[in-house]
Amino acid sequence: MSRQKEKGTRFETAVLDYLRSRIGDPEGMIHREALHGKADEGDIKGLYIHKKSLILECKDWNKFELSIWLGQAQDEAANAGADYGMVVFHRPGRGGKRMRDQYVLMDLDTLARLAGAPDEEADHE
């Protein structure tokens, strides 16, 4: 396994462990997802907000590529049939015992839907 892959796996596991302990997940519903090639379904699944499913794409990179990462999360949410896709990415200088300080990225429409707005059928620019 490459060094970057190992780093990513460690970060995914740290995010998973934090969410399980913080939210409470006695059944182990929150889990890391296996790779599906071009049809990946996110790194972490089993999360729900108001009974709607959410996938997380986890990134532990030195260079932030936010638009690429968010597009990837949205594509993988669609692959998984999830309602929401978000990115959790490493905040420099805040790791290990500071998992609660990591960044979460979503677009404004996702925030609006989380706040109760209906899904939009058409793309409004």
Check if CATH label 3.40.1350 holds for domain 3-114.
yes
Q: What values do phi and psi take at 97, rounded to 5?
A: -80, -5
For 8-22, how does the pLDDT look when each residue is reduced to its tens digit (9 = 90+)?
A: 899 999 999 999 999
Confidence of residue 115 (pLDDT cuts 50, 70, 90): very high
Query: Which sign does the torsion angle of CA 29, 81, 110, 112 carry?
Result: negative
CA distance 125 to 123: 6
* Residue 76 CA: distances (Å) to CA of 3, 98, 100, 103, 125: 24, 27, 24, 19, 22
Domain range annotation of the chain? 3-114
What does the pLDDT average to over 60-85? 96
Q: What is the pTM of this model?
A: 0.89
